[in-house]
Amino acid sequence: MTPWVLHVDLDQFIAAVEVLRRPELVGRPVVVGGNGDPSLRSVVATASYEARAFGVRSGMPMRIAARKCPDAVFLAADNAAYEQASARVMAILADFVPTPLTLEILGWDEAFLGVDTEDPLSLALRAQQAVLRGTGLWASVGIGDNVLRAKMATDFGKPRGTFTLTEGNWFPLIGDLGTEALWGIGKKTARRLAELGFRTVRELAAADPHALGEQVGPTMGPRWVGLARGSARSEVIGTPYVARARSRETTFQHDLTDPVEVRFEVGELARQVALDVVEDGRPAVRVGVKVRFKPFVTLTRSATLAAPTHDADTIASAAVQLLDSLEDDRPVRLLGVRAEFPPDDDRRLNPSRGRAGFGGDAV
């Protein structure tokens, strides 16, 4: 038997859950975010494929989504419903009968399966149908010889399909794409790599990892070259994912212009995060703040604490100091505070599934 990695990714998960609850929405553009009111400040958590056809994307302000697709149905996010649906899917995958497997849950809507089989495509189709029969939700399944290739294969199979990506077809399919196509490399990193002369995956793969490391850092240089070469772990780790941080964000319906009020709100967010830290049972070792100014400029700062702590006052003080370091008096539309935990075994984060920063929207 040959070891394979399957990446099961639920299609338009949040929107799909909402459509299951409201069958009359089948085929209509659906946008989920905030309290469902596009006139208020909030962002899109996810959009159905019909809404995406109008240019609506996760993370987009709801007001812009309403302008792009005025006929969309706007719904409030219901995290409890999505958690329940996710739990049903993961239970089905955990008990998948055709073969012994290892299940690694990545989030609400995706998981890796580690399987030993000579027919991974047949197994992927069976897993897809098992989820559909048990929940009514469609999934796409990527098949690969490691987690990176399985994860990226899924995009080729969406929606409702399967795709296989291995060492043999990696460069023919991926080589001429921009580096931002790689799992773990975002737009900012891709721009930085382009400035250094590496615009495509093939160009980055041909780079000297140590020479690149001298320009971008001894850890990231080899890592980015490794991603371009398709290198990643082939082991699926069957242990629960442990969050690396806790964070809270608030978007204000009216811009904050009083520095005293901004500092107060950061302190309040930090105290909420501190409660999350206590609940998690691990101390915070690093604190970060995120500030989005009018009209839409976002700055972040972070710093390592003098000692690991659960103390709310310590976390709040560090967050306010970081805010003050920005020395920016522009009106504020969003604030966020993040507390990071001590680093654990890093195997599950290679390539990155959770880069430093504030939590994104589920898609």
Per residue in 129-173, pLDDT tens?
999 999 999 999 999 999 999 999 999 999 999 999 999 999 999
Tokens of 163: 């795709």
Q: In terms of domains, do 263 and 332 share one?
A: yes
CA distance linking residue 161 with residue 125, whole number of Å: 9
Give the CATH number of the domain where residue 207 resides.
1.10.150.20
Q: From 58, 79, 100, give the residue that closes a domain.
A: 79
CA distance linking residue 143 with residue 154, whole number of Å: 8
Confidence (pTM): 0.78
Q: Is 355 a residue whose pLDDT tops 70?
A: no
- Count of residues in the chain: 363
Q: In terms of domains, do 308 and 250 share one?
A: yes
CA distance linking residue 27 with residue 245, whole number of Å: 37
Q: In terms of domains, do 255 and 335 share one?
A: yes
Q: Is 22 a residue whose pLDDT tops 60?
A: yes
Q: In terms of domains, do 210 and 254 share one?
A: no
Binning pLDDT at 50, 70 and 90, where does residue 267 land?
very high
104 is catalytic: no
Residue 259 lies in a domain: yes
Q: In terms of domains, do 251 and 216 share one?
A: no
What is the tally of helices (H) and strands (E) in the chain? 13, 12
Q: In terms of domains, do 271 and 219 share one?
A: no
Residue 132 lies in a domain: no
CA distance linking residue 316 with residue 334, whole number of Å: 17
Q: In terms of domains, do 221 and 196 share one?
A: yes
Residue 98 lies in a domain: no
Q: In terms of domains, do 261 and 328 share one?
A: yes
Give the CATH number of the domain where residue 26 resides.
3.40.1170.60
Tokens of 126: 């069976």
Give start and end residues of each alpha helix (H) in 209-290: 209-216, 220-228, 259-280
Residue 115 lies in a domain: no
User: SS3 for 125?
Assistant: helix
Q: Is 113 a residue whose pLDDT tops 60?
A: yes
CA distance linking residue 148 with residue 313, whole number of Å: 41
Q: In terms of domains, do 269 and 196 share one?
A: no
Q: From 46, 79, 112, give the residue that closes a domain.
A: 79
CA distance linking residue 334 with residue 266, whole number of Å: 10
What is the domain extent for residue 67? 15-79
Q: From 25, 59, 79, give the residue that closes a domain.
A: 79
Residue 42 lies in a domain: yes
Residue 322 lies in a domain: yes
Q: Is 177 a residue whose pLDDT tops 60?
A: yes
CA distance linking residue 97 with residue 129, whole number of Å: 12
What per-residue confidence (pLDDT) applies to 241? 65
pLDDT digits (tens, 9 = 90+) for 221-234: 999 999 999 999 99
Give the CATH number of the domain where residue 312 resides.
3.30.1490.100
Q: In terms of domains, do 295 and 212 share one?
A: no
Residue 260 lies in a domain: yes
Tokens of 198: 């590496």
Q: Is 348 a residue whose pLDDT tops 60?
A: no
Q: In terms of domains, do 222 and 182 share one?
A: yes
DSSP at 47: E
Q: Is 36 a residue whose pLDDT tops 60?
A: yes
DSSP line for 282-329: S-EEEEEEEEEETTTEEEEEEEEEEEEE--HHHHHHHHHHHHHHH---
Catalytic, out of 18, 50, 104, 110: 110
Q: Using CB atoms within 10 A of its CB, is residue 15 exposed (0-12), middle (13-18) or buried (19+)?
A: buried
Top-confidence residue, 44 or 239: 44
Residue 120 lies in a domain: no
Q: Tell me the one-letter amino acid at 217.
A: G
Q: In terms of domains, do 249 and 335 share one?
A: yes
Number of domains in the chain: 3
